[in-house]
Amino acid sequence: MGNKKHDGIEQPSSNAKQEQLNTFRVQNDGKPLTTNQGLRVDDDEHSLKAGTRGPTIMEDFHFREKMTHFDHERIPERVVHARGFGAHGVFELYESLSEFTKAKFLTDTSKQTPIFIRFSTVAGSRGSSDTVRDVRGFAVKFYTEEGNYDLVGNNMPVFFIQDAIKFPDFVHAVKPEPPNEIPQASSAHDTFWDFVGTNTESAHMIMWVMSGRALPRSFRMMEGFGVHTFRFINEEGKSHFVKFHWKPKLGIHSLVWDETQKVAGKDPDFNRRDLWDAINEGNFPEFELGVQILKEEDEFSFSFDILDSTKLWPEEVVPVRIIGKMTLNRNTDNFFAETEQVAFHSGHVVPGIDFTNDPLLQGRLFSYTDTQLLRLGGPNFAEIPINRPITPVHNNQRDGMHRMTINPGQVSYHNNGLANNTPSTPPQSDGEYRHHEEKIEGRKIKARSHSFDDHFSQAAMFWHSMSTIEKGQIVDAFRFELGKVLSKEVRQRVVDVFSQVAEELAEQVAVEIGATATKGVAVEPTFISPALSMMNTVKSAATRKVAVLVSNGFSATEINGLLQALTQAKVKAEIVSKTQAPIAGDDGTMLEPKQSLLTAASVLYDAVYIAGGQQSVTELLSDVKSSEFVREAFLHYKTIAAVGEGKELLTAAKVALDNSANNNGALSGILLRTESQSDDTFANSFIESIAQHRHWDRTFHP
């Protein structure tokens, strides 16, 4: 597809970014090997030598070019968000927001806007694990017809600090400690918790990080937030405050802590592999874009400051208006060229979107460009293909490292007469960006507004909005993290801080770590927000992974019916057996296992199905790893289904059955096939149970 006309102006097509990237794509299949200068090479196995056993000759320009390029293949990793993974997609608008903004991609419902997204962890290095306890970056680059717009956010709506000048301090505290570079990708150490105990503005964010929000099951199953308060500006110049939300269509789901630690060893690429596979299989992740919009005259209508990035706007007070959908539909062709070189910046905006005086946002407007100058080799990082806008670029910027644009002509300044003063700024409004006019007056001062002084009420709101299960997980997280802190003074200081959030939280943590909670100092929550609890999220079995435990002699009719039902429900089943050698069913049907008990683990799946057939079950029981597999799934609250003789494997795994529950154990997520149940009925019950994600009524904590 080419460009299309819109209001008489040539407009980029919806796949304009892909078309642009295609011009940089090089296919090597069937092509002769060349140097970077296009010279064909006769041999790429041997360097040029003086005799077969002689020294290498410096004349070998091909060797020197190849080795020099290899020596310089790595660029500095990001200071934060180093561990990331990206994908391409499109954004579609449900309804026009022309009442609030003049941004064309938010006003024209006929458009599809190309996007690139990068998910990431914050603290760890590029080589760290996906499943650590951490905030997740959620950055989206919109390639709009008015230029690139970057919505650079996280999977949590608030942040650790209120002013950007504190950002280096926070990052230094959470990073590995300087004497020994330990621990990697972990906040469970002294310097981080010393920061928390002495910088109480972080209290609200800590509640989020100690919750399941910091342990997402998948990038596809976590929310995204713009964090800051931005402005919408409409054609008349009227301003509204706005916060951005991404809502996953699959709901918000997490791993449990014991599970994340094991996944990190079994598959450190767990989240990125999940996203890559889902897109490859056509299960395109979808996120709906929502906005909270506030009139300027309501700026001071709340008990908190709307410009404070450690505060959120409760959805029950300021509803989230769903306005569009983002679909991730294409994986990258090259991780380095796209995901590693993509450059996001909070200051990349389009007409109709502007900034506020949030001091954390103001600092980000400087920091992002500054870091790209180091990482990407100079000021021309916008010319890297993944960063190029789909609109033409015309300005008087010249030269610099890695300049790719060739600008003809003698003029490179403004104003000029030799080129009729082009490129020029328009004499009147013609779609250009104009900063919102705002009256500002005040004394130059290094201070923070007293409206930012409340550090505990929203932390208390978060705690009191959680379910009993979620509160238990938060307590366990505090106990683990502070249990790794060596300093007794730091542990006590943190308990003192969170005694002001919730007395029961502080007491339960203190008793485990040898500290003392302070009574009677906890603040009362200003609001209870059910939207904060993941228990109230969407529940779906679609794209979940199921381990089907089978061996020779399995019931073929049963398995064939199950696999068909799971496929129809968009549930991904993987055959797991003792080995990866083909296995035969009771009617001679052959299956080829995807994984063996050696290469697989229950933590890599959402549910387990144990097939019927005495021979199959007996063979599985001969390997202790099969009962360990089932036992671990049980401890992580996952759905387990067993047919016929499969119940023997449950017994070997010491799985407790709730025989008083409906469906012979379904209440606790343990499903046993009864004689009266048909294959279809049992398969549907299994799928419905998977959709619940976890079965917390097992009343224990792994």
Which residues are CB-contacts of 573 (< 8 A; sequence separation ≥ 6)? 545, 546, 548, 562, 563, 566, 567, 609
Q: Are strands 572-577 and 595-596 parallel, antiparallel or unpaired?
A: parallel
CA dist., res. 224 & res. 120, Å (int): 12
Which residue of the set 148, 154, 271, 331 is catalytic?
154
Alpha helices, DSSP H only, in 342-499? 359-375, 457-464, 468-483, 488-499
CA dist., res. 103 & res. 123, Å (int): 34
Question: Please, how many CA atoms are within 13 Å of residue 324, restricted to the half-sphere of its CB?
Answer: 21
Cα torsion for 417, 418, 424, 426, to the nearest 10°? 50
Q: What are the DSSP E strand ranges found in 199-271? A: 224-225, 230-233, 239-248
Nearest to 211 by CA among 475, 573, 505, 509: 475
CA dist., res. 385 & res. 332, Å (int): 12
Which residues are CB-contacts of 163 (< 8 A; sequence separation ≥ 6)? 359, 360, 363, 448
Q: What are the DSSP E strand ranges found in 590-679? A: 590-591, 595-596, 607-610, 639-642, 670-672
Nearest to 612 by CA among 581, 584, 658, 647: 647
Nearest to 554 by CA among 486, 645, 480: 645
Burial status of residue 467 (CB atoms within 10 A of its CB: 0-12, 13-18, 19 or more): middle
Q: What are the DSSP E strand ranges found in 404-544? A: none
What are the φ and ψ backbone dihedral angles of 489, each rounded to 5 degrees?
-65, -40
Is residue 81 among the annotated active site residues? Answer: yes
Is residue 402 among the annotated active site residues? Answer: no
8 Å CB contact between 650 and 611: no
End-to-end CA distance of the chain: 54
Nearest to 258 by CA among 477, 2, 484: 477
8 Å CB contact between 501 and 211: no
Q: How far is CA 427 from CA 397, 436, 438, in A?
A: 21, 18, 22
Residue 12 burial (CB count, 10 A): 24
CA dist., res. 283 & res. 299, Å (int): 41
Question: Please, how many CA atoms are within 13 Å of residue 17, restricted to the half-sphere of its CB?
Answer: 27
| Token couple for 386 | 């993944």
CA dist., res. 495 & res. 507, Å (int): 8
Which residue of the set 62, 81, 88, 695 is catalytic?
81
**Cis peptide leading into residue 530 (ω within 30°):** no
Question: Please, how many CA atoms are within 13 Å of residue 97, restricted to the half-sphere of its CB?
Answer: 29
State the Cα angle at 139 between 379 and 156, rounded to 5°. Answer: 135
The length of the chain, given as a count of residues = 702
CA dist., res. 657 & res. 570, Å (int): 28
In Å, how far from its chain's centre is CA 209?
Answer: 14
8 Å CB contact between 242 and 221: no
| Catalytic positions | 81, 154
